[in-house]
Structure 1
Amino acid sequence: MLSWEYPPRIVGGLARHVHDLSVALVQQGHEVEVITADHAGTSELDTKDGVRVHRLKMYSPQPLDFLDSVFQFNLNMMEKVVGLREKGVDFDIIHAHDWLVAYAAKALKHAYRRPLLATIHATEYGRNGGLHNPLQRYISSVEWWLTYEAWHVICCSDYMYNELHQFLQVPEDKLTVIPNGVKAEDFLPNAPDPAEFRRQYAAPDEKMVFFIGRMVTEKGVGVLIEAVPIILSRYPNCKFVIAGKGPAQDYLMRRARELGVYERIYFTGFVDDDVRNNLYHVADVAVFPSLYEPFGIVALEAMAAQVPVVVSNVGGFAEIIQHGKNGLHALPGNPESLADNILALLLAPGLAAKLKERAYREVIEQYNWSRIARKTVEVYAKVLNEYENTPWEGPLTPPQIEEQLLLSRVASFFSRYRGRYQSTGENLLEQLLKK
């Protein structure tokens, strides 16, 4: 597994996805090696739940910009794999998660003649509603390149299936939809006194509406802020708890002041898993008004925590939540629609109870990691069968020159995609291979 984030380094849903999938694969008898970025307080090699996690200790100079750091990260990732190979560690398949590991994934695929599988969790085009600057276009081209190099591509929803097929031109027979999942046992409350915990955020007689996610435009937090005065005009006894951090946070807080509702909103900033779980369990409604959502793992989290859910009718949310059956849909980007659906749950406790009960049952039956791991193994088996029956271009690489091929391919790659990295790639890997 190649992933730029892995717990305890958690930026978005990708980290938990890779972790839970890896653990489930090990539980089913498979061996999993995860190569990922370093994180403060962690060791270089950590084995937990049977998963061997190799974290990249960055001893090289700090890169000057974002793309520099991505290239350096991929070089370190290749260095780690070469070292593991020298120690006798082998692998049957390379599973890459998103574009940030594409460079290493491609080089390792061709150097070691192993099939590459890619999971695309989101696209740059979808995140930004288009490609508006050179960096976004560059990232999108790397996403296309990763899906081109991959033997097979996994995505998390029919929405993402269509996006990858239509925008990145991934052939339909190369795509498989496997949803994300959650472990319901990970969302149990642990507050000694739930009522006392709740009083930190809302008065006992106030209803609580809860959002958790990154403070970025695509998550639709601004839509929720605009909906707050509409809700308060009809249900004044309500508090809104917004958890998470991100570049839009200052703007959102300023906008709340402009609307005169800042005192009714609790901006918590980042919260850890324990606080998140307790907030889910004391909330009356969980709301996720995303403008773009490839899957929407937070909806599953809320369902697992047995809190009724309102989501925008976009992307993966539209597939997970069935309006009136296991949650409610709001029109994307529409504060009035969002307010109406939140109020529907606040004003009808019986409806809220029915929806959350059905939602919890679906999480247990359909979105468990054991089922997801089995489906992933089916894709692995299909890829390996095709791999074994398809002659690779050129002869198999003799073991004694594997690393030399890796060196030449990395140097060629950096020369092709960013010429100023050619010498860096050569020097670093030459030193590496002489160790």
Structure 2
Amino acid sequence: MKVLMFGWEFPPHISGGLGTACYGLTKGLAQLKDVEVTFVVPKAWGDEDRSNINLLGADQIPVVHQQIQFDNARSKVEYYELQSGLIPYLGTSEFDELKSEISSGEKQLIELTPEGKFVFSGDYGQNLFQEIANYTLIAGKLAREIDFDVIHVHDWMCFQAGMAVKRVSGKPLVVHVHSTEFDRSGSSVNPAICAIEKEGLDAADKIITVSNLTRSVVIEKYNIIPEKVITVYNAVEPVRSGDAKTSREYTNDKVVSFLGRITMQKGPEYFVEAASLVLQKMRNVRFVMAGKGDLLNEMKQKVSALDISSYFHFPGFVGESEIAELFQASDVFVMPSVSEPFGIVTLEAMQAGVPVVISKQSGVSEVVQNAIKVDYWDIQAMADAIYTLLINQEYGIRLGEKGKKEADKLIWKNVASEVNRTYLKLLEVKPKHN
């Protein structure tokens, strides 16, 4: 089984769960027999984790490729890297903000080298859809040069590339939906992005969604027949004990953490309001809102207006090692998302043994049992859950231990096996035992 896969980011340069999911799925597929994945990413930055892979970068056509081998993997994964500046999880307000910062008076031209190779600008904002168009042309060229059996694309930025490859090759197309425009922007959707999503979903031979919540959005909002859409939940990488440092960098008090893009979809204002209610009952607690996004300054202003700034910490975007330290310092983790297709960060917190409070409006709530689940808008219930976990240490420890055992069973190799069965059904090939 040879898979040509298109994704838009790779750790540590991630803006959401997309890069984490792509890495986990790819590594899981590499552990299966007779599966080879060619994974195309827009740009390699040079500081990705290379302990298990040899990463080859290419910012032009013709692309140069090399195979990479994961530890304990029987099959190889090839990476083709094409320089680009797009942000995969860019919401409508963030897109407009970036666009306003760029002068609209200059003509935008497609730049080519003397050899006729594309030069990607790496800019955000105005060049967004031109970058997608260039990337799609490159995908069509790759389709003529690479041997593969099935096409697999992740989210809207890669849908047109997948459709181009399908037109060239006639091979089946799998569209993997990690988030939709309705999740990212609510009622203020970007019609151009919705149109791309609709076109890609219609062209797909099979659609994989990361939760039943997302499956319902795909079926209802994009008018897709239910039989075409399946749910395959996300997972986490197994964590070795002792990998994370134990740290109380933020405070010696209790710590309640939020980790994610600080934007409408993630419900940061509900976290702040719940924190204010908790602080009415206890003061030996600190709240950490880690991440960046278009609502960051607004959240800082909200915290100030509530006169709780001395109890809040905004560290900005945090890297992988800092995330591990944040979870080790946390007594409670909260994910108050308004519309969360899955929420891998919840599983990561559970793996670290942190008791979690999550919104019922999240995909991960469909698969985990050892979590406190509340409606995102019910700040009183959210505050009560946080307060209970903070004052009842025994209950918090017990919930954290049960959550860790549960999360440790949700691994990417199992997800990869399910995805591979989808490939085989499309190709009408009987699966081999792994």
Residue of structure 2 equivalent to 1:154:
208
TM superposition shift of 1:259? 0.7
3-state SS in 2 of match to 1:35 = strand
Cα distance between partner residues in 2 of 1:239 and 1:93: 49
Residue of structure 1 equivalent to 2:397:
353
Letter of the 2:250 counterpart: Y
Where does 1:19-418 land on structure 2 (aligned, <5 Å)? 19-29=23-33, 30-41=35-46, 43-44=57-58, 45=65, 47=68, 49=70, 50-57=76-83, 60=119, 62=121, 66=125, 68-79=127-138, 82-83=141-142, 85-86=144-145, 89-130=146-187, 132=188, 136-185=190-239, 189-191=243-245, 194=246, 197-198=247-248, 200-203=249-252, 206-322=253-369, 326-365=370-409, 367-385=410-428
- The answer to whether the 8 Å contact 1:26/1:32 transfers is yes
Q: How has the CA–CA distance of structure 1 residues 67 and 175 changed in structure 2, closer, same or farther, with 3 Å as cutoff?
A: farther
Out of 10, 16, 30, the position equivalent to 2:14 is 10
- The answer to whether the 8 Å contact 1:209/1:285 transfers is yes
TM superposition shift of 1:349? 1.5
Q: Which runs of 5+ in 2 are unaligned?
A: 48-56, 59-64, 71-75, 85-117, 430-434
Letter of the 1:106 counterpart: M
- The answer to whether the 8 Å contact 1:189/1:281 transfers is no
3-state SS in 2 of match to 1:185 = coil
- The answer to whether the 8 Å contact 1:189/1:278 transfers is no
Cα distance between partner residues in 1 of 2:318 and 2:242: 16
Q: How has the CA–CA distance of structure 1 residues 18 and 260 changed in structure 2, closer, same or farther, with 3 Å as cutoff?
A: same
Q: How big is each residue's C-alpha offset from its partner over 1:209-232, in whole Å with a ceiling of 9 and x where there is no partner?
A: 111100101111111111222111
Q: How big is each residue's C-alpha offset from its partner over 1:17-69, in whole Å with a ceiling of 9 and x where there is no partner?
A: 11111111111131111111113336335635242111103552638874643
TM-score, with length taken from structure 2: 0.80
TM superposition shift of 1:336? 1.6
- The answer to whether the 8 Å contact 1:321/1:328 transfers is no
Cα distance between partner residues in 2 of 1:163 and 1:73: 24
- The answer to whether the 8 Å contact 1:70/1:100 transfers is no
3-state SS in 2 of match to 1:9 = coil
Letter of the 1:55 counterpart: E
TM-score, with length taken from structure 1: 0.80
Cα distance between partner residues in 2 of 1:313 and 1:384: 37
Q: How has the CA–CA distance of structure 1 residues 247 and 188 changed in structure 2, closer, same or farther, with 3 Å as cutoff?
A: farther
Q: How has the CA–CA distance of structure 1 residues 124 and 67 changed in structure 2, closer, same or farther, with 3 Å as cutoff?
A: farther
Cα distance between partner residues in 2 of 1:68 and 1:282: 41
- The answer to whether the 8 Å contact 2:83/2:120 transfers is no
3-state SS in 2 of match to 1:184 = coil
Q: How has the CA–CA distance of structure 1 residues 187 and 16 changed in structure 2, closer, same or farther, with 3 Å as cutoff?
A: farther
RMSD: 2.1
3-state SS in 1 of match to 2:39 = strand
Cα distance between partner residues in 2 of 1:291 and 1:354: 27
3-state SS in 1 of match to 2:36 = coil
Cα distance between partner residues in 2 of 1:170 and 1:188: 46
Cα distance between partner residues in 2 of 1:123 and 1:61: 26
Q: How big is each residue's C-alpha offset from its partner over 1:280-327, in whole Å with a ceiling of 9 and x where there is no partner?
A: 1221101111111111111111111111000111131431343xxx11
Cα distance between partner residues in 2 of 1:77 and 1:32: 19
Letter of the 1:202 counterpart: T
Cα distance between partner residues in 1 of 2:334 and 2:371: 10
Q: How has the CA–CA distance of structure 1 residues 70 and 55 changed in structure 2, closer, same or farther, with 3 Å as cutoff?
A: farther
TM superposition shift of 1:160? 1.3
Letter of the 2:29 counterpart: L
Cα distance between partner residues in 2 of 1:187 and 1:333: 36
Residue of structure 1 equivalent to 2:54:
none
Q: How has the CA–CA distance of structure 1 residues 83 and 94 changed in structure 2, closer, same or farther, with 3 Å as cutoff?
A: closer
Cα distance between partner residues in 2 of 1:123 and 1:218: 11
The range that moved more, 59-68 or 328-337, is 59-68
TM superposition shift of 1:152? 0.3
Q: Which runs of 5+ in 1 are unaligned?
A: 387-435
Q: How big is each residue's C-alpha offset from its partner over 1:153-188, in whole Å with a ceiling of 9 and x where there is no partner?
A: 001111112111122122121111110000131785
Q: How has the CA–CA distance of structure 1 residues 63 and 53 changed in structure 2, closer, same or farther, with 3 Å as cutoff?
A: closer
- The answer to whether the 8 Å contact 1:157/1:295 transfers is yes
Aligned length: 370
Q: How big is each residue's C-alpha offset from its partner over 1:199-254, in whole Å with a ceiling of 9 and x where there is no partner?
A: x3012xx1111111001011111111112221111111101111111111111111
- The answer to whether the 8 Å contact 2:288/2:313 transfers is yes
Cα distance between partner residues in 1 of 2:42 and 2:292: 21
- The answer to whether the 8 Å contact 2:139/2:162 transfers is no
TM superposition shift of 1:83? 4.8
